[in-house]
Amino acid sequence: MKNERRIPVFVLSGFLGSGKTTVLLKMLEHCKNKGWQPGIILNELGEANVESHLFENEKVFELLNGCICCTIQDDLKETIDELMLEMEEQPLDILFIEGTGVANPLEIQEVLLSSQYLDQFELMSIITVLDASHYLEYQSIFSSSAEVRNLMKEQTVCGSLLLLNKTDLVPSGQLEKIKQKITKIAGQGKVMIESVYGQLDPEILFEKRIQSVFIGNSHGNDHSHHQHHHHSTVQAIKLENVPTLKQKIFEKWLKQLPPNVLRGKGIIEIEGSKQLYSFQYASNKVTFSLVPQSLNRQPVIILIGMGLEENQIHDHWKQLV
């Protein structure tokens, strides 16, 4: 994996709640086993990254309040420049860039293939993570918006590896239908791998899938920015001053949120534990993990969705607290 000239870069793409961070953590574990020194650029919707404890002792650069599209490409370049300066003291073996759930990976690719970075970085693969359990719902004209469908199409077409995640939540007959639909959008030649909780042979994730001929053809193309307003109805609502909560009641509250809340994450104190836990909510499932006390974090809840009504969310919140 080590490259004397250019640092290999892997981009993680995929819609809200598809499992990108889980896949990234698996890849980081593989790096640790191999003795590679990784760098990570995390892009977040909203003003706070509530997942930073997952990347303790890692070289992490955060881009908040954006989605690596035309409004944040300059910030991405600044972050890469900052990372390159630090690399003079602490070299990296590999770089991961995780976009938000509403990022078009072409925008990240555009930056990496610009002349100022071509000599330093080698784009290896764009890994698009797809949520099998919600895929048909997101593709339906009856249950989703044109924005969501177009965005997911962009993410699918741009992916050099398609990771169909959460396949355990889908009946086998329906899974075949999903795969056919994805193949119709992505084309026959696209590599698609099934996974549960992002579990698969890590070597598959680290394969080089973007060839130089592809880079040559892409560099300088004008994908132009006509399609980059697809995230306009996506919002991140932050709930602060979060009191101690009963775990079961909180889980029930999350599952009763309006259906256009697609993702929830944050840090809460669970009653009776006197400890902070981070939570992840997606696909109507909630998971919790302990937050180290040394991080000194404050409880906060972030809800992400399409066309959210802030008053409705706050009224729903009042019912819990």
Rounded-to-integer distance, Cα 72 and Cα 268, Å:
30
Collapsed DSSP state (helix, strand, coil) of residue 211: coil
pLDDT value for 253: 95
DSSP bridge partners of 40: 60, 96
pLDDT value for 83: 92
| 33 within a domain of the structure (yes/no) | yes
pLDDT value for 49: 67
| One domain for residues 315 and 265 | yes
- Among 227, 256, 280, give the residue marking a domain's end: 227
| 277 within a domain of the structure (yes/no) | yes
CATH number, domain at 275? 3.30.1220.10
CATH number, domain at 131? 3.40.50.300
| One domain for residues 31 and 151 | yes
pLDDT value for 230: 47
- Among 176, 207, 227, give the residue marking a domain's end: 227
Rounded-to-integer distance, Cα 13 and Cα 108, Å:
10
Distances (CA, A) of 320 to 241, 242, 313: 13, 10, 11
Owning domain of residue 30 = 7-227
What's the token pair of residue 63? 């881009």
| One domain for residues 212 and 244 | no
| One domain for residues 212 and 247 | no
| 38 within a domain of the structure (yes/no) | yes
- Among 163, 196, 227, give the residue marking a domain's end: 227
User: Which alpha helices (H) appear in the chain, and where do they start and end?
Assistant: 20-34, 73-87, 105-112, 135-139, 146-158, 172-186, 202-205, 212-218, 247-255, 310-320
pLDDT value for 117: 93
| 59 within a domain of the structure (yes/no) | yes
Q: What is the mean pLDDT of each run of 10 residues along the chain (321 residues)?
A: 75 91 94 95 73 79 64 82 92 92 84 91 96 91 83 92 95 93 92 91 94 43 42 77 94 91 91 91 87 84 87 88 76
| One domain for residues 195 and 299 | no
Sign of the alpha-carbon torsion through 256, 129, 77, 202: positive
| One domain for residues 73 and 99 | yes
**For the chain, what is the domain count?**
2
pLDDT value for 31: 96
| 64 within a domain of the structure (yes/no) | yes
